[in-house]
Structure 1
């Protein structure tokens, strides 16, 4: 999943140097590998060595989505995989993808997939 998202970028604005692109790809790597306890934008900015505004702008140039949208996409993809491939509870899955509240997780999942995680899981079981 990450390789697909990190390798994405043939459309990158040519004003970014290869060093800047590498930093943004590293930011994506950090986001992907810290889903359970997401890093803040200031933390990511400090780690990769660019200011927050530049991070947000360049991230959107490289991935054509905001940092939050990128994190959300990873969270929901992982949640869907956990629902399909494990017997973990909704609360456990929510925690694994970075939600402290199962109701917030359920709300976000329903916004993305149109079904609550419980209904999604039940439909998988019925098949």
Structure 2
């Protein structure tokens, strides 16, 4: 019974984390989320804290502040626009919360951000980083099975365990085939988020939408236009690649998930090929 309960709790935590991630622009309260998950406020609060090691309010605040930093890095938004995307009624209330969290105002924080941009970096650096020029693709919706890994990006033990569980689920349910594609979604910037709190989804494509099962969640990558960069090199260089790409694509980004596809894997990092999908506007 205890194992069944834990299994169900993992499924619920996946659902609530995904819900929060896609609704940060809205009012999110303990009472509302508990109702959304069909649980009592008391039980939901205890469950959330035991799994995430954070209270719900602390988690939501952290996600909003870290998302705000991402927007400061990758978007040209007014303070009011940024406030609305973070679920705050006014720019003043958002600025106050941001300063309480980071110690400086959003404007002051934004002024500290520096990038290697196409304007300040020699164009040959794109090849030096391991990237090729992007191709623009319009992709169809993709159904995804995933397992969430929380901790330092690339940590050997947790990643081997996570990918192993995902592969086991696919084989057990006869979902893996030659057409299966392997993806990764990184939700956090490890230069801002504490390494132990970084969220990574190890993902596999499936032919149709699946029902979440314990630690295995389900999501859909929506159709849309993407700039697709091919990266050759060690996975440890992906952060640098993303930083370059986001600075380059800043003017045409749209609100959707970025993700990476593992095309080839090799014991030799120089032979590893990863495709990086960056959502861009249609214009």
Q: Same fold (TM over 0.5)?
A: yes
Distance 1:77 1:126 in 2: 18
Q: Conserved in 2, the CA contact under 8 Å of 1:106 and 1:117?
A: yes
Structure with the larger strand share: 2
What are the within-5 Å matches in structure 2 for residues 41-56 of structure 1?
A: 41-56=30-45
Determine the structure 1 residue equivalent to 2:48: 59
Q: Find out whether 1:110 has 2:99 as its counterpart.
A: yes
Determine the structure 2 residue equivalent to 1:72: 61
Q: Unaligned 5+ residue runs, structure 2?
A: 117-283
Q: Find out whether 1:38 has 2:38 as its counterpart.
A: no
Structure with the larger helix share: 1
Determine the structure 1 residue equivalent to 2:111: 122
**CA RMSD between the two structures:** 2.2
Q: Find out whether 1:29 has 2:18 as its counterpart.
A: yes
1:40-91 deviation per Cα after TM superposition (whole angstroms, max 9, x unaligned): 3222212212111000001000000011111111100110011111110111
Q: Unaligned 5+ residue runs, structure 1?
A: 1-13
Distance 1:32 1:25 in 2: 11
By how many angstroms is 1:126 displaced? 9.9
Q: Which runs of 4+ in 1 moved over 3 A?
A: none
Distance 2:8 2:114 in 1: 47
By how many angstroms is 1:125 displaced? 6.2
Provide the aligned length of Structure 1 versus Structure 2. 114
